[in-house]
């Protein structure tokens, strides 16, 4: 949704060996005043760092590596794109649940998680291009199932438009709508939240978050259901300045990303699964009538997302809210089960239909036997 950012309150091996992948020890962002002072290096990345145009992006993969052996149709790789200000670690339960069914990868956008910070635009076109370069670099050439949470729904709409040959389906997980600012009583962080984020960023840069254990003191409710190891990693990331600043930059670029998504048009016949949290997003600063307006407007926006594709369906995760839908194990498993059924039915049927209408003759199918489409 992006009521503020998901982080405003505070907060698996690659298929193809890559000589540009670096060891998993990640340096914190440099803090620059008049000179350069590097923060302590204590965050241990669970995945690998891949150099994309001078920016190291962190990617994790999991799931069966031989699931497609001898299969008539390959299982797609699920690619998770995180919500505003969230890290790949927030998706621990969803990654593990999806990995029971097929290959899954998640990554950290620049300035988030264990990825390098950079000051290029946080618009959808830039993010889609960086993700595509990352996937190509690690050998994930398709078929790809895009899974976008919150603001990531905008980014992935642009990705599917730019790289249609790679994409066989999309999952919008309580995803943002390009017109939501016109309908929601609140959209984006308040000035107080922005001041707090900047202040926490300075505290992290100066090492005060460690001295005063601010990461533990300000831990948001939605982290309570994550495993201990994930919470420890996220607390460590809370000592990185850009953990607080990048969500503000992404939030500020929302309108630009929304316009880019709108310019891409609809998804045609691409299989689309809209998954909605059953409970409204937590917005403590709203009056009761505004909270009801928020819930009603969000429901209508989620329903409207179904119109993006002629091949769409929707599922609701009762009891989950905008963030616990991915941080709570029970809810994340429900999401994964819906996604697995969506792939086995709708997505594979779409892949067969693509083969029948493909210009590639049957005799020229790829060695995988998957489709008349040459995945690239």
Task: Find the helix packing angle between 254-263 and 152-162, rounded to 10°.
Answer: 40
Kindly report the average pLDDT of the chain as a whole number: 80
Q: Is residue 266 part of a domain?
A: yes
CA–CA gap between residue 39 and residue 243 (Å, rounded): 13
Q: Is residue 19 part of a domain?
A: no
Q: In what order do the strands lie in the sheet with 144-149?
A: 48-52, 55-62, 104-108, 77-81, 144-149, 167-173, 272-277, 312-317
| Tens digits of residue pLDDT in 71-81 | 566 789 999 99
| Tens digits of residue pLDDT in 234-270 | 888 877 767 777 878 898 899 999 999 999 999 999 9
Q: What is the rounded average pLDDT of the residues 263-282?
A: 94
Q: What is the pLDDT of residue 341?
A: 97
Total domains present in the chain: 1
Q: What is the pLDDT of residue 43?
A: 55
- Residue 2, pLDDT > 70, answer no
Give the range of the structural domain holding residue 280, as residue numbers without chain letter.
30-358
Give the DSSP letter of residue 347.
I
Q: Is residue 9 part of a domain?
A: no
Q: What is the pLDDT of residue 170?
A: 98
Q: Is residue 371 part of a domain?
A: no
Q: Full-prediction pTM beyond 0.75?
A: yes
Beta-carbon contacts of 183 under 8 Å, excluding residues fewer than 6 positions away, are 177, 297, 300, 301
Q: What is the rounded average pLDDT of the residues 169-179?
A: 97
CATH number of the domain to which 157 belongs = 3.40.50.1820
Q: Is residue 7 part of a domain?
A: no
**What is the bridge-based pairing of β-strands 55-62 and 48-52?**
antiparallel
Q: Which residue has 């899974």 as its token pair?
A: 147
Closest CA to 151 of 82, 89, 231, 87: 82
Q: Is residue 41 part of a domain?
A: yes
């Amino acid at each position: 949704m992006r009521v503020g950012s998901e982080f405003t309150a505070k907060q698996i091996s690659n298929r193809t060996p890559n000589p540009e992948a670096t060891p998993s020890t990640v340096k914190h962002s440099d803090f620059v005043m008049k000179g350069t002072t590097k923060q302590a290096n204590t965050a241990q990345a669970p995945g690998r760092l891949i150099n994309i145009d001078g920016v190291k992006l962190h990617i994790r993969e999991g799931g069966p590596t031989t699931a497609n052996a001898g299969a008539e149709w390959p299982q797609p790789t699920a690619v998770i794109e995180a919500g505003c200000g969230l890290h790949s670690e927030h998706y621990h339960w969803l990654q593990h649940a999806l990995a029971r069914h097929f290959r899954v990868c998640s990554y950290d956008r620049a300035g988030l998680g264990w990825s390098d910070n950079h000051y290029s635009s946080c618009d959808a076109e830039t993010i889609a291009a960086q993700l595509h370069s990352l996937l190509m670099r690690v050998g994930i050439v398709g078929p790809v199932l895009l899974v976008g949470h919150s603001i990531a729904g905008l980014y992935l709409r642009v990705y599917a438009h730019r790289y249609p040959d790679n994409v066989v389906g999309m999952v919008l997980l309580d995803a943002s709508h390009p017109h939501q600012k016109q309908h929601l009583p609140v959209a984006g962080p308040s000035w107080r939240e922005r001041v707090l984020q900047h202040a926490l960023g300075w505290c992290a840069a100066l090492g005060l978050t460690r001295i005063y254990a601010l990461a533990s003191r300000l831990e948001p409710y939605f982290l309570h259901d994550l495993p201990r190891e994930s919470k420890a990693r996220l607390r460590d990331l809370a000592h990185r300045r850009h953990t607080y600043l990048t969500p503000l930059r992404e939030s500020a670029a929302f309108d630009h990303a929304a316009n880019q998504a709108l310019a891409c048009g609809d998804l045609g016949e691409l299989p689309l699964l809209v998954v909605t949290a059953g409970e409204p997003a937590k917005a403590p600063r709203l009056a009761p009538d505004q909270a009801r307006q928020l819930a009603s407007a969000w429901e209508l926006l989620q329903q409207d997302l179904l119109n993006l594709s002629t091949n769409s369906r929707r599922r609701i995760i009762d009891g989950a809210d905008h963030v616990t839908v991915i941080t709570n194990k029970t809810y994340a498993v429900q999401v994964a089960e819906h996604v697995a059924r969506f792939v086995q039915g709708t997505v594979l049927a779409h892949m067969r239909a693509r083969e029948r209408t493909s210009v590639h003759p049957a005799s020229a199918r790829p060695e995988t036997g998957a489709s008349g489409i040459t995945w690239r």
